[in-house]
Amino acid sequence: MDLDLSPQLPKKLYGGNGGSYYAWSSSELPMLRQGNIGAAKLALEKNGFALPRYSDSSKVAYVLQGSGVAGIVLPEKEEKVVAIKKGDALALPFGVVTWWYNKEDPELVVLFLGDTSKAHKAGEFTDFFLTGSNGIFTGFSTEFVGRAWDLEEKDVKILVGKQSENGIVKLDGSISLPEPKPDHRKGMALNCEEAPLDVDIKGGGRVVVLNTNNLPLVGEVGLGADLVRLDGSAMCSPGFSCDSALQVTYIVRGSGRVQVVGVDGKRVLETTVKAGNLFIVPRFFVVSKIADPDGMEWFSIITTPNPIFTHLAGSSSVWKALSPTVLQAAFNVDSGVEQLFRSKRTADAIFFPPPK
């Protein structure tokens, strides 16, 4: 069966004056379901408040735009109130309760990518809201809620029924939500735009890798991630994840061309991607990208907390490791052609600047 790897945009699921929630559909992007990956985006207007909820999936959150506050409660832990801004990545394990708030302009936009292998629906996140018109406790009888909370029936009806909206609300300023605490960021968030670079190639590109070393919670989430910034007209080396991981890529900024090659040398994707697109590279398939003149930036998750990649170009590629006679036999060429091939791309790089 042919794979449909075409990049897709998300669809709005719900929202109002406070903001909107979008998700990529596994019916439109079948690799989400096949790979057990979910993808969604939260956009909050000024004073927008995303009501407390938990999810059936572990996730990595990445702030695409704006700044705001995230409230995070890990199981049996105290609430962490974290200031978030563009470039921040947060790991959200199973069972974590979160709320999100945007106090100012511009719009706060947060991307969620995660593992749905234990979710109710493969390829989709399901959130369970603690309050609101679709909150968990709207389904219990007032007797059960009253017994659980030690409240009279009239008080239960106020608490459960007063919030008539669902998911996202717009606050009127009469309530002051908790201020973020600087010490709460430690171990909870990493700014990928300010973190030390793992790769920095002049005229090529830069990479920050999110792993258990710089954000230990990704170990609980079971995912790794990276932010890649490719300079104008530069190329990202063809490569694949050699530990059977899927790559899920969201284009943050710019545009460029992508090719993916799979089994039997079949090119399964050749397209132009732009900001807002999401696409998936299957296990062991080889992907390469070339940025348009204005460059391209993307955020990816990899379905392992400490991913390992094999590159098929550059000094660290497998070609440089193989014996000369092995290459001659494999390519069916003479030693002169093999030596020419080996003499190229001698720098230790995974990004290649445009030809001069």
Written as six digits, the tokens of 3 are 């794979």
What Rg value do the Cα atoms of the chain yield, rounded?
23
Q: Cis ω on the peptide bond leading into residue 106 (within 30° of 0)?
A: yes
In one letter, which amino acid is 80? K
Residues 128-178 pLDDT 10s: 999 999 999 999 999 999 999 999 999 999 999 999 999 999 999 788 999
State the pLDDT confidence band at 21, using cuts at 50, 70 and 90. Answer: very high
Distance of alpha carbon 240 from the chain centroid: 18
pLDDT at 346 over 90: no
Angle (CA) 106 109 112, round 5° = 170
Q: Count of residues for the chain? A: 356
Instruction: Let me know: does 17 contact 47? Beta carbons within 8 Å.
Output: no
For the chain, how many helices (H) and strands (E)? 7, 23
Residues 278-321 pLDDT 10s: 999 999 999 999 999 999 999 999 888 887 888 899 888 999 99
Does domain 191-308 fall into CATH 2.60.120.10?
yes
Instruction: Let me know: does 60 contact 215? Beta carbons within 8 Å.
Output: no
pLDDT at residue 316, rounded to an integer: 84
pLDDT at 78 over 90: yes
pLDDT at 348 over 80: no
Between 21 and 349, where is the model more confident? 21
Compute the average pLDDT of residues 225-237.
96
Residues 180-225 pLDDT 10s: 999 999 999 999 999 999 999 999 999 999 988 999 998 899 998 9
Mean pLDDT of the chain: 94
Q: What H or E segment, with its residue span, contains residue 35? A: helix 30-35
Instruction: Let me know: does 270 contact 256? Beta carbons within 8 Å.
Output: no
Write b or e for each residue in 213-252: b if 16 or more Cβ atoms lie within 10 A of its Cβ, otherwise e: ebbebbbbbbbbbbbbbbbebbbbbbbbbebebbbbbbbb
pLDDT at 108 over 80: yes
State the pLDDT confidence band at 347, using cuts at 50, 70 and 90. Answer: confident
Residue 110 and residue 257: Cα distance in Å, rounded? Answer: 25
pLDDT at 1 over 70: no
Q: Cis ω on the peptide bond leading into residue 178 (within 30° of 0)?
A: no
What share of the chain in percent tops pLDDT 90?
83
Domain limits, the chain: 9-131+166-183, 191-308
Which class does domain 9-131+166-183 fall in? mainly beta
Q: What backbone phi and psi angles, to 5 degrees, belong to 174?
A: -80, -15
pLDDT at residue 265, rounded to an integer: 96
pLDDT at residue 307, rounded to an integer: 78
Q: How far is CA 206 from CA 153, 197, 261, 296, 308, in A?
A: 59, 7, 24, 11, 17
Compute the average pLDDT of residues 55-68.
97
